[in-house]
Amino acid sequence: MADIKKKPVQIVETVLRDAHQSLVATRMTTEQMLPIIDKMDKVGYRAVECWGGATFDASLRFLHEDPWERLRKFKDGFKNTKLQMLFRGQNILGYNHYADDVVEYFVQKSVANGIDIIRIFDALNDIRNLKTAVNAANKEKNAEVQIALCYTLGDAYTLDYWKDIAKRIEDMGADSLCVKDMAGLLTPYAAEELIGSLKGSTKLPIELHTHYTAGVASMTLLKAVESGCDIIDTAISPLALGTSQPATEVMVETFRGTPYDTGLDINLLSEIADYFQPIREGFIKSGLLNPKVLGVNINTLKYQVPGGMLSNLINQLKEAGKEDKYREVLEEIPRVRKDFGEPPLVTPSSQIVGTQAVMNVLSGERYKLVPKESKKIMLGEFGQTIKPFNAEVQKKIIGDEKPITCRPADLIPPQLPEFEKQVAKWKEQDEDVLTYALFPKVAEEFFEYRAAQKTKVDMTKADKAAGAYPV
């Protein structure tokens, strides 16, 4: 190895976003995060992933926190480290497609509030659904645009497919490319082959994001880096492994003294780990961190089903009192996925395919019961899949309705003016309209809560001024 040119691998730390999203349903509070930011800022990470994904929804819904305020606090604390977010293309951070004006405004406000790197992906790898977000991000001088490919398996997903789509992404104006392996399906030698091929077809820096669910992720990162991968996503050890990412300290030590040496200080990383250790213990004690998600789930590789999707299936079957049908449902998932054009299984396609498989098994007849989301996918409302739908199944689900073939958002008129009207009575900052656009009901409840908190504070101040409290 001595004669290999030095090529330090860069690290993106996920503890403030995907690590706690994967392990504890995104329940870490801003208050738990802020005290360690100063120390994290000294590490020399390429970036800290801290926003987007499910953090926006969970902050409002469960923590009664303003996600925009969280982002601003991160920006104040991280003086030397870039902040990264995950953006679901035309879905933004929600579950439906939004009009272009909403997507563009969300990108502008994300950058204005502190985001440096926007990782944009589409659940179906339909790059038409990335276009608006990518163009909007490219207009922001301070933003780096990273496009993520959702990695999955299937006979259509050949090396030629990945090379071709990587080239198209480069042509779209991306600054970097991420292979997003949300289910932990990428095995070490497959990573070596994939990254090696991508390095031959694009000049873009390549990042690899994977999960430890199937137990192979650290080895996968090792082979990927040896094959030319420039950046890897890792999580500080107390919130690593299981359905999260490989541990930061382990990967730093793995590359120590090699051409890929990260140069990061293991002692500083240990101090950061010490900070998160009691937070982890608290999550275990409260039941938020279920030890089951920390083990190896080999069904992930066997059925190509992400860890979170497996737990959803178990819950759906429990509620129906049909846990004995678990194996049958697992076997039905690949069949439904094939009928639905073999999409990657990631939000929202994973939920749609999984729920449909459960319904097929429980009703005793395939596609007798069909949720509206299954109909939407068959009508082309989420975009284009890599393979055609099963024509027979499509006919059964949508009847004589005509599927769309254009980019779904082309059919959505501008939405911002109407959202502005609806949010007017609660609006305290420009960003409130975007919060409302994504999650109207949750936003209303949060705005009411925010107003009540302000009233409480104002009353306390008035009481103090009147001498009701000792100051």
Pairing of strands 231-234, 117-120: unpaired
Rounded to whole angstroms, the Cα distance separating 359 from 418 reads 37
Taking residue 43's Cβ as centre, other Cβ atoms within 10 Å add up to 20
Distances (CA, A) of 40 to 12, 122, 203: 11, 30, 30
CATH class of 10-291: alpha beta
Q: What is the mean pLDDT of each run of 10 residues along the chain (471 residues)?
A: 79 97 94 98 98 96 97 98 97 93 98 98 97 98 96 94 96 97 95 97 97 96 98 98 96 98 98 98 93 86 76 81 91 95 90 93 96 96 96 97 97 98 98 98 97 78 46 34
Rounded to whole angstroms, the Cα distance separating 174 from 120 reads 10
Taking the CA atoms of residue 409, residue 97, residue 332 and residue 342 in that order, the dihedral angle to the nearest 10 degrees is 40
Greatest CA separation for the chain: 77
Question: What is the distance of C-alpha 392 from the center of its chain?
Answer: 33
The full DSSP string for 342-398 is -----TTHHHHHHHHHHHHHHHSSTTSS--HHHHHHHTTTT---SS---HHHHHHHH
Taking the CA atoms of residue 209, residue 214, residue 218 and residue 221 in that order, the dihedral angle to the nearest 10 degrees is -40
Show the CA angle centred on residue 13, arms to residues 88 and 44, nearest 5°. 130
Rounded to whole angstroms, the Cα distance separating 108 from 100 reads 12
Strand ranges inside 160-217, DSSP E: 176-181, 206-210
At 196 the three-state DSSP class reads: helix
Rounded to whole angstroms, the Cα distance separating 436 from 423 reads 7
Q: Which two tokens stand for residue 301?
A: 């590789």
Helical axes 100-112 vs 131-139, angle rounded to 10°? 40
Q: Which two tokens stand for residue 302?
A: 């066997």
Output the pLDDT for position 464.
52
Rounded to whole angstroms, the Cα distance separating 432 from 455 reads 19
Distances (CA, A) of 10 to 7, 247, 255, 256: 9, 14, 11, 13
Beta-bridge partner residues of 86: 52, 119
Give which of 340, 374, 339, 338 is closest to 356, Cα–Cα: 374
306 close to 347: Cβ distance less than 8 angstroms: no
Output the pLDDT for position 468.
39
For the chain, what are the domain ranges? Answer: 10-291, 305-405, 416-461
Give which of 163, 178, 104, 112 is closest to 134, Cα–Cα: 104
Rounded to whole angstroms, the Cα distance separating 20 from 351 reads 20
Q: Exposed/middle/buried for 228, CB within 10 Å: 0-12, 13-18, 19+?
A: middle
Place of tokens 């107390």: 238
CATH (one of 3.40.1390.10, 2.60.120.10, 3.40.605.10, 1.10.472.90) for 305-405: 1.10.472.90
